[in-house]
Amino acid sequence: MRIVVSGASGFFGRAVTDLLLRHPVQPELILTSRTPEKIADQGAAVRRGDFDDRAGSAEAFAGGDVLLLISGVKVGHRVEQHRNAIEAAKTAGVRRIVYTSFIGTTADNTASVSREHFETEEILKASGLDWTILRNGFYAESMLDASVPIAVRTGRWVSAGGDGTVSFVDRADCVSCAVEVLTAPGHENRTYEINSGDLLSFRDVAALVSDVAGTPVEFVDVTDEGLYEHFGRLGIPREALAEFDVDGYRFCSDDMVSFERAMRHGHFAVPTSDVEHLIGRPPRRLPELVRSRRAELRALVAPPEFDPLSDAALRDPACMFATALNDRPVFWSEAIGAWIVTRYDDVHRYLNELDVFRAPVHDAFTVPEKFADRFPSELMNYLLPAMDPPEHTAPRRAIQSWFRRPRILELQDRIATAAHELIDGYAEAGEVDLMATYCYPLTLNTLLGMLGLPDTDAKVIHDLGEAAIRILEAVKVPLAEPELSQVWEDYLAGQEYIRTVVDERIANPGDDIISFMATATDDDGNPVLTRERVALHVAELAFAGHDTTAQLIANMVQHLSSHPAQLAKARRDPDLWPNVTEETLRRRPSATFTARAAARDVTVGGVTIRAGELAWFALTGASNDPHHYDTPARFDIDRPHPADHLAFGRGPHACPGAPLSRAQATVAARVLFERLTDLRVVTDLPLDFAPLVILPKRNSMRVAWSAH
């Protein structure tokens, strides 16, 4: 049997050819196309054929037994084209034509598309040839490619279809059915309904898309004239024009409005499907097809500037939230795998409502096999951010109660002394990397003071904190060997050392935070934490208390360096230094996000977040929300409520180290600018950040001053 495939270079023609070439009956193929050069080298005869040229088509079809007549795309000219093709097939000696028609093709259906298909079907039936008509449903792909993205982006599905319905179809199912009727006997002079069997209105589709995209898509019911206006605004002409040809298809609103009118009048509500009968499996249905595009649909509403590792975002993370804060306060990030919640009011509210958003489950951490006996993986579930009350309450209290004012004041003196000593080391140099020579050593020194450890332990604590970050990052981008083993070795060696310190402190407690945790007891006098858990928390503090504050100090220097008037003000009135700290925390929180998981389905900012889905609360978005602050982009140390920001989070997980970091950063910045009076950031260097999404972490920051 020789099968002729017309329109073989189009999507449908290619897909059919592909299946036929692999078909067990191995039919001989003749492929015809207006652009034969596009389908050379397929292992089949290729001929030039154009429906506008009857004689040429007859030559192209010559020798064929069955013709697959794929309906043309030249809206308004199709009946003539199809008539030419049918006549050409007769001339060429073809015995049967398989025609791709459309759902709801009846004499009284006035949709332009249906008129053309109806007339073609009539010509075909009167041709004297055998025929098989495949009335394909509404291609789900066409709708997902064309209408759905507009609806998701604009949040509106404008339709004149009312509650009229149509049955959609997966184009791949149409292709399989076409191949079946082309290759198997017994399909002569029959009409088949090729659709999913589901009847859906565009209102149903809008709801489905809204659910999958996770963003509201309102169904806007309009008249035919309203739909013409809508298409007019999208730049679509009323009539089919050669110059408005998209991939060969001439979009025009006459076509689409007449379709929706007929839909409203019930002409496409065909409840039968022959797909399973033809190909032996049920058709794919629209909900499944829409869900298969979830990532793509959700990406449509992510603001284009949302790229946490772009240079623009590293320079100023707040810029990532500008559009979101105005238009779509909650959106999905496929890269992160979480909803991003940006507005102050939402972040402020939900960080405090643990019955709605809980600590995320940390089962993503996997301890490499060879370290399993040194570190049971369940230990990770005891990190403070991984627990919620009641488990969270006692360890959290043990840690937080250490951060009392007298201790902070005592540490403040230690910080000032250390700051002076560090600057003494390079005051004459005129230029240094501030991260390596000030921000990091200073915060590390404070950590040692807090833990009651000698300076000689600096490397252990530094490596422990670094390893903790690397392990956290590895949840997203897995580490390869030998790095993986090295990181875990550092993490475990540090904790094993701390476990020995815990034993000493239990025997001989001091006023440091390790002693505090090691000796903390519950109401019944039982210890709150095992030695392993104390060591785990030390690793947590080594990470949470080190980079965050070092970045805060760097951010203060950055902002003061570019706002000399504000710096002059703080110099004149030293009581304003705490405001510099707060305003820096507001304008650029060290941690851009904090993570939670939805405890139940909840609608936030118009978006439904499902139970179990991750939500990242954008502390930087919230702290720069124009609905909450006047001119949020301005760095202004005179704001009336300087500490009104969310840089430390909020609620039961709010940062326990906040009092220490506030004190530390304030002293660090004040001493630095007192000592190196005209210190400024060297700006013409490339950015140097570690690729961390939660905590944009400067590796280096060059600063210069006039050395005396």
| 655 contacts 590 by C-beta, under 8 angstroms | no
Least separation in angstroms between CB 589 and ligand HEM: 6
Nearer to ligand HEM (CB atom), residue 124 or residue 544: 544
| 646 contacts 633 by C-beta, under 8 angstroms | no
Please give the DSSP secondary-structure letter assigned to residue 377: G
| Residue from 56, 72, 317, 657 in contact with ligand HEM (CB under 6 A) | 657
| Residue from 178, 604, 660, 669 in contact with ligand HEM (CB under 6 A) | 660
- Cis link prior to 632 (omega < 30° from 0)? no
Burial of 414 per CB tally in 10 Å (0-12, 13-18, 19+): middle
Q: Taking contact as CB under 6 A, which single stretch among the options 178-186, 455-463, 626-634, 656-664 is the one that binds ligand HEM? A: 656-664
| 504 contacts 497 by C-beta, under 8 angstroms | no
Least separation in angstroms between CB 656 and ligand HEM: 5
Least separation in angstroms between CB 695 and ligand HEM: 9
First-to-last C-alpha distance (Å) of the chain: 96
Q: Taking contact as CB under 6 A, which single stretch among the options 149-157, 226-234, 590-598, 696-704 is the one that binds ligand HEM? A: 590-598
> Using DSSP, how many helices (H) and how many strands (E) does the chain show?
29, 25
Nearest to 693 by CA among 537, 461, 477: 477
Nearer to ligand HEM (CB atom), residue 160 or residue 351: 351
| Residue from 31, 175, 240, 351 in contact with ligand HEM (CB under 6 A) | 351
619 interacts with ligand HEM by CB under 6 A: yes
| 586 contacts 647 by C-beta, under 8 angstroms | yes
Please give the DSSP secondary-structure letter assigned to residue 478: P
Axis-axis angle for helices 393-400, 531-544 (nearest 10): 60
Q: Taking contact as CB under 6 A, which single stretch among the options 64-72, 212-220, 243-251, 583-591 is the one that binds ligand HEM? A: 583-591
33 interacts with ligand HEM by CB under 6 A: no
Nearer to ligand HEM (CB atom), residue 7 or residue 656: 656
| Distance separating alpha carbons of residues 492 and 460, to the nearest angstrom | 11
* Dihedral sign (CA 272, 274, 276, 282): negative
Q: Taking contact as CB under 6 A, which single stretch among the options 263-271, 470-478, 598-606, 653-661 is the one that binds ligand HEM? A: 653-661
Distances (CA, A) of 388 to 435, 580, 599, 615: 34, 33, 12, 16
Least separation in angstroms between CB 344 and ligand HEM: 14
Least separation in angstroms between CB 565 and ligand HEM: 24
Burial of 107 per CB tally in 10 Å (0-12, 13-18, 19+): exposed
654 interacts with ligand HEM by CB under 6 A: yes
User: Which tokens hold the place of 374?
Assistant: 């040194």
Reported as type and span, the H/E element at residue 459 is helix 458-473
Q: Taking contact as CB under 6 A, which single stretch among the options 4-12, 50-58, 338-346, 644-652 is the one that binds ligand HEM? A: 644-652
| Residue from 261, 533, 586, 650 in contact with ligand HEM (CB under 6 A) | 650
* Alpha helix positions (H), 189-279: 202-213, 224-233, 253-264, 275-279
| Distance separating alpha carbons of residues 314 and 689, to the nearest angstrom | 8
Please give the DSSP secondary-structure letter assigned to residue 129: S
Question: Rounded to an integer, what is the distance from CA 287 to the centroid of its chain?
Answer: 21
Q: Taking contact as CB under 6 A, which single stretch among the options 220-228, 472-480, 643-651, 684-692 is the one that binds ligand HEM? A: 643-651
Nearer to ligand HEM (CB atom), residue 302 or residue 655: 655
Q: Taking contact as CB under 6 A, which single stretch among the options 53-61, 307-315, 462-470, 648-656 is the one that binds ligand HEM? A: 648-656
Nearer to ligand HEM (CB atom), residue 351 or residue 669: 351
439 interacts with ligand HEM by CB under 6 A: no
Nearer to ligand HEM (CB atom), residue 267 or residue 392: 392
Site for ligand HEM in 512-571 (CB under 6 A): 540-541, 544-545, 548-549, 552
| 69 contacts 82 by C-beta, under 8 angstroms | yes
How is 393-456 classified by DSSP, letter by letter? HHHHHHHHTT--HHHHHHHHHHHHHHHHHHHHTTTTTSEEEHIIIIIHHHHHHHHHHHHT--GG
Residues 6+ apart with CB under 8 A from 686: none
| 521 contacts 527 by C-beta, under 8 angstroms | yes
Q: Taking contact as CB under 6 A, which single stretch among the options 194-202, 414-422, 460-468, 584-592 is the one that binds ligand HEM? A: 584-592
Least separation in angstroms between CB 197 and ligand HEM: 48
Residue number of the CB closest to ligand HEM reads: 657
648 interacts with ligand HEM by CB under 6 A: yes
* Alpha helix positions (H), 67-192: 78-92, 112-125, 140-145, 147-154, 171-183
649 interacts with ligand HEM by CB under 6 A: yes
462 interacts with ligand HEM by CB under 6 A: no
Q: Which backbone phi and psi does 704 adopt, to 5 degrees?
A: -135, 155
Residue corresponding to tokens 């002693």: 515
Question: Rounded to an integer, what is the distance from CA 92 to the centroid of its chain?
Answer: 55
Q: Give the 3-state secondary structure of residue 32.
A: strand
| Distance separating alpha carbons of residues 464 and 477, to the nearest angstrom | 20
Q: Taking contact as CB under 6 A, which single stretch among the options 2-10, 161-169, 412-420, 641-649 is the one that binds ligand HEM? A: 641-649
User: Which tokens hold the place of 139?
Assistant: 């291609």
| Residue from 594, 623, 624, 666 in contact with ligand HEM (CB under 6 A) | 594
Least separation in angstroms between CB 612 and ligand HEM: 18
578 interacts with ligand HEM by CB under 6 A: no
With contacts defined by CB under 6 A, how many residues of the chain interact with ligand HEM? 28
Nearer to ligand HEM (CB atom), residue 127 or residue 400: 400
Q: Give the 3-state secondary structure of residue 374.
A: coil
Site for ligand HEM in 169-228 (CB under 6 A): none
Nearer to ligand HEM (CB atom), residue 278 or residue 669: 669
Least separation in angstroms between CB 359 and ligand HEM: 7
| Residue from 566, 590, 592, 666 in contact with ligand HEM (CB under 6 A) | 590
| 252 contacts 244 by C-beta, under 8 angstroms | yes
Q: Taking contact as CB under 6 A, which single stretch among the options 335-343, 478-486, 652-660, 679-687 is the one that binds ligand HEM? A: 652-660
| Residue from 297, 394, 591, 604 in contact with ligand HEM (CB under 6 A) | 591
| Distance separating alpha carbons of residues 693 and 691, to the nearest angstrom | 6
| Residue from 656, 671, 698, 703 in contact with ligand HEM (CB under 6 A) | 656
The interface mask with ligand HEM, positions 49-68, x = CB under 6 A, is --------------------
| 590 contacts 695 by C-beta, under 8 angstroms | yes
384 interacts with ligand HEM by CB under 6 A: yes
661 interacts with ligand HEM by CB under 6 A: yes
Axis-axis angle for helices 547-562, 658-675 (nearest 10): 40
Least separation in angstroms between CB 387 and ligand HEM: 8
| 30 contacts 93 by C-beta, under 8 angstroms | no
Least separation in angstroms between CB 602 and ligand HEM: 17
36 interacts with ligand HEM by CB under 6 A: no
469 interacts with ligand HEM by CB under 6 A: no
Least separation in angstroms between CB 647 and ligand HEM: 5
List residues binding ligand HEM (CB under 6 A): 351, 384-385, 396, 540-541, 544-545, 548-549, 552, 589-591, 594, 619, 647-651, 653-657, 660-661
